[in-house]
Chains A and B, each alone.
Chain A
């Protein structure tokens, strides 16, 4: 049984935001407009957190792409009253839109704040409605949504591999964010395969987990920056 995971190389990430755009396109995430975004209703399943260090002219920028960490010990799962948020056998935290009644407890429990609520029914200005991905369901108002590691792509590849009677090759599954990243900072794969790129990168000495001390056991490993501009 594969266990899906990701690494994000913070040395490579330059904060361009291509991952965010690709995620919106792949997963039918509507934009909410400037007013609603100002009111905190934007739904960026992956976001690039930008932090400043120091004062001008010695200010340094740090970027960190944050998406659902698919925690093994996910705090969002036991609290959902309807099992809409639960753990799958291949290590993903599933969000079942049809089962969600919108208590938003999971979002409060998530320390990474990667869960988003649909405040309104989504809408796309024409002709953007033509680019919707048929593999991903639209979420109506009142349900929670979040990054799924592009589960539709995982499923498509694994089903095709099974039909072809071959194992899934490392790197064959590319979530939209990993696919779009120009610096190839995001790597996705099977953590249970010790030879896969994501496993090797996870074992790197630069590797660390976000908010590790909370005990959530996330499946995403961040590779710390090595380059320093004040060297």
Chain B
């Protein structure tokens, strides 16, 4: 990749000129280095291997996994909950910050929305991956079958189906709609086949005030709609656990706990994605340290919130002192799962508090380290909710230990490769920072700018 032109030296970074914004943000679409192809090959290979692994599971029988009596959910359901959780990145950043008119969201919204859509797609794959008879998964869809039997609307898994589909539809539209004006920019700057493709995608966008108003109103409505949907999605995923009388599962705290954890892991994923994009696509002029600082502070808040929920959950269990629940309680905290448990606490609580709480460490590197810790910690948290409890329910004769097998490890690990691959491919065909939203930051109507605070689109904020 060619070196970019040197940054305009300034104490506070100023918005680069319109044409430079266009060329900077469209460069990934037009210039491709060998690194792109290498990345696609490697991660594509991993994803392919995982697909082969899953097909072998379908043909040779589910027994090649580590699932066993009575631990019937393991890596697959962990991955499912984890990726649905990651998908809350986009909603928080994009929708909530849009609704509160936070200008610093502008370079970040599309990065976040892309994470949401792809994480949702990956997560939504797992209910099919973990089925015993996945070729019958369509029975979850309410269609008038020959026998006139419908799905059980009282089952949390059917709620999952409705919620995830609603959220996926909403997120895809929420991502796609603001891409239309950017497709128009690419259309105008390209020729030949690329021009024809983007002309089709741009849907005849011209940029009249009428179109802008309709688009912004639609985004506003969808932002208002998608927030409750996102909250409901992960609450419903938590219902997959709290609706079963398993020790330490049947607790009312799971709804809010899972939503908070989802937003938490989503912010962490976003920080990692932003740092990587900034480095590899040379977006230093657009993703400033202040963006990372702001998100880092949010990460800190969510870490505290996560700690609060864990404390609540465990204190109440501790006081209840019910034998079955305390057995699972100690299993995670002191006994066989203790190493994983304390790794989780370190990654989710101690590391973010240190790195995000102390200003000196709240740099881009600090944010990335803390975020990686959170991603690891949150994956472990899902695992530690599911497996220790299932292996230690009520009747000691049936207690057991779960040993994940290669097929599960490969598929669960390949999801990270899949996410990276999809992200890289996306950034190759769509500008990863929303061009028009970035420019629109300079044209905010005065009603939205309260006199006391000036909306400073890309400036430094010292609080």
Report the minimum CB–CB distance from B132 to chain A (whole Å): 2
B138: nearest residue on chain A (CB-CB)? A101
Q: Does A66 contact B (CB under 8 A)?
A: yes
In terms of DSSP, what is the predominant structure of the interface of chain B? loop
Q: Does B34 contact A (CB under 8 A)?
A: no
Report the minimum CB–CB distance from B369 to chain A (whole Å): 36
| CB–CB B132/A142 < 8 A | yes
| CB–CB A142/B243 < 8 A | no
A119: nearest residue on chain B (CB-CB)? B63
| CB–CB B62/A108 < 8 A | no
Mask, B58-83, CB within 8 Å of A = 1, is: 00011100011111110000000000
Report the minimum CB–CB distance from B85 to chain A (whole Å): 19
Best-buried of B137, B151, B390, B398 by chain A (most CB within 10 Å): B398
Known: A41-B69, A80-B152, A104-B72. A120 touches B63 (CB 8 A): yes
Contacts of A107 in B (CB 8 A): 69-70, 72
Q: Does A207 contact B (CB under 8 A)?
A: no
Mask, B364-394, CB within 8 Å of A = 1, is: 0000000000000000000000000010011
Contacts of B245 in A (CB 8 A): 75, 109, 111, 214, 216
The contact of B243 among A79, A120, A144, by CB within 8 Å, is A79
Contacts of B393 in A (CB 8 A): 111, 113
Q: How large is the interface on B (under 10, 10 to 19, 20 to 34, 35 or more residues)?
A: 35 or more
Best-buried of B61, B127, B132 by chain A (most CB within 10 Å): B132
| CB–CB B72/A108 < 8 A | yes
Contacts of B319 in A (CB 8 A): none
Contacts of A160 in B (CB 8 A): none
| CB–CB A117/B140 < 8 A | no
Mask, B385-416, CB within 8 Å of A = 1, is: 00000100111111010000000000000000
Contacts of B139 in A (CB 8 A): 81-82, 99, 101
Contacts of B172 in A (CB 8 A): none
Best-buried of A42, A50, A108 by chain B (most CB within 10 Å): A108
Q: A121–B63 Cα gap in the complex (Å)? A: 10
| CB–CB A82/B246 < 8 A | no
Q: A81–B133 Cα gap in the complex (Å)? A: 13
Report the minimum CB–CB distance from B339 to chain A (whole Å): 23
| CB–CB A117/B62 < 8 A | yes
Q: Does A143 contact B (CB under 8 A)?
A: yes
Q: Does B158 contact A (CB under 8 A)?
A: yes
The contact of B152 among A39, A78, A100, A120, by CB within 8 Å, is A78
Chain A residues 109 to 153 lying within 8 A of chain B, measured CB to CB, are: 109, 111-113, 116-121, 140-144
| CB–CB A112/B395 < 8 A | yes
| CB–CB A113/B140 < 8 A | no
Q: Does B157 contact A (CB under 8 A)?
A: yes
Q: Does A49 contact B (CB under 8 A)?
A: yes
Q: Does A56 contact B (CB under 8 A)?
A: no
Mask, A57-79, CB within 8 Å of B = 1, is: 00000000010000000010011
Best-buried of B68, B137, B158 by chain A (most CB within 10 Å): B68
Q: Does B149 contact A (CB under 8 A)?
A: yes
| CB–CB A141/B61 < 8 A | yes
The contact of A40 among B69, B137, B240, by CB within 8 Å, is B69
Q: Does A211 contact B (CB under 8 A)?
A: yes
A83: nearest residue on chain B (CB-CB)? B152
Q: A101–B246 Cα gap in the complex (Å)? A: 22
Contacts of A49 in B (CB 8 A): 395, 397-398
| CB–CB A120/B61 < 8 A | yes
Q: Does B443 contact A (CB under 8 A)?
A: no
Q: Does A103 contact B (CB under 8 A)?
A: yes
Contacts of A101 in B (CB 8 A): 131-134, 136-137, 139-140
| CB–CB A142/B133 < 8 A | yes
Contacts of B134 in A (CB 8 A): 101
Contacts of B137 in A (CB 8 A): 101
A102: nearest residue on chain B (CB-CB)? B132
Q: A99–B134 Cα gap in the complex (Å)? A: 12
Report the minimum CB–CB distance from A223 to chain B (whole Å): 18
Contacts of B390 in A (CB 8 A): 108
| CB–CB B149/A105 < 8 A | no
Q: A121–B130 Cα gap in the complex (Å)? A: 17
Q: A152–B105 Cα gap in the complex (Å)? A: 64
Q: A108–B132 Cα gap in the complex (Å)? A: 14
Q: A143–B139 Cα gap in the complex (Å)? A: 14
B154: nearest residue on chain A (CB-CB)? A78
Chain A residues 197 to 216 lying within 8 A of chain B, measured CB to CB, are: 211, 214, 216
Contacts of A121 in B (CB 8 A): 61
Report the minimum CB–CB distance from B307 to chain A (whole Å): 28
Mask, B122-165, CB within 8 Å of A = 1, is: 00000100111110110110000000010110111110010000
| CB–CB A113/B62 < 8 A | no
A141: nearest residue on chain B (CB-CB)? B61
| CB–CB A79/B72 < 8 A | no
Known: A79-B155, A101-B132, A107-B72. A117 touches B67 (CB 8 A): yes
The contact of A102 among B133, B154, B397, B398, by CB within 8 Å, is B133
| CB–CB A105/B240 < 8 A | yes
Q: A100–B131 Cα gap in the complex (Å)? A: 10
Report the minimum CB–CB distance from A169 to chain B (whole Å): 34
Q: Does B444 contact A (CB under 8 A)?
A: no
| CB–CB B73/A108 < 8 A | yes
Known: A79-B155, A108-B390, A214-B245. A40 touches B149 (CB 8 A): no
Q: Does B200 contact A (CB under 8 A)?
A: no
Q: A82–B62 Cα gap in the complex (Å)? A: 20
| CB–CB B397/A109 < 8 A | no
Report the minimum CB–CB distance from A84 to chain B (whole Å): 9
Q: Which 7 interchain pairs have the tightest Cβ spacing?
A: A102-B132, A142-B132, A40-B68, A119-B63, A104-B72, A109-B244, A49-B397
Please name 30 pairs of A and B residues whose Cβ atoms are closer than 8 Å in the assembled complex, sorted by A. A41-B69, A42-B69, A78-B154, A80-B155, A81-B152, A99-B149, A100-B132, A101-B136, A101-B137, A101-B139, A103-B132, A104-B67, A104-B72, A108-B244, A108-B246, A108-B390, A109-B244, A113-B70, A113-B393, A113-B398, A117-B67, A118-B132, A119-B63, A120-B61, A121-B61, A141-B62, A142-B62, A142-B133, A144-B132, A214-B394
6 other A-B residue contacts (CB within 8 Å) besides A79-B243, A108-B70, A118-B132: A40-B69, A50-B397, A101-B131, A112-B394, A119-B62, A214-B245
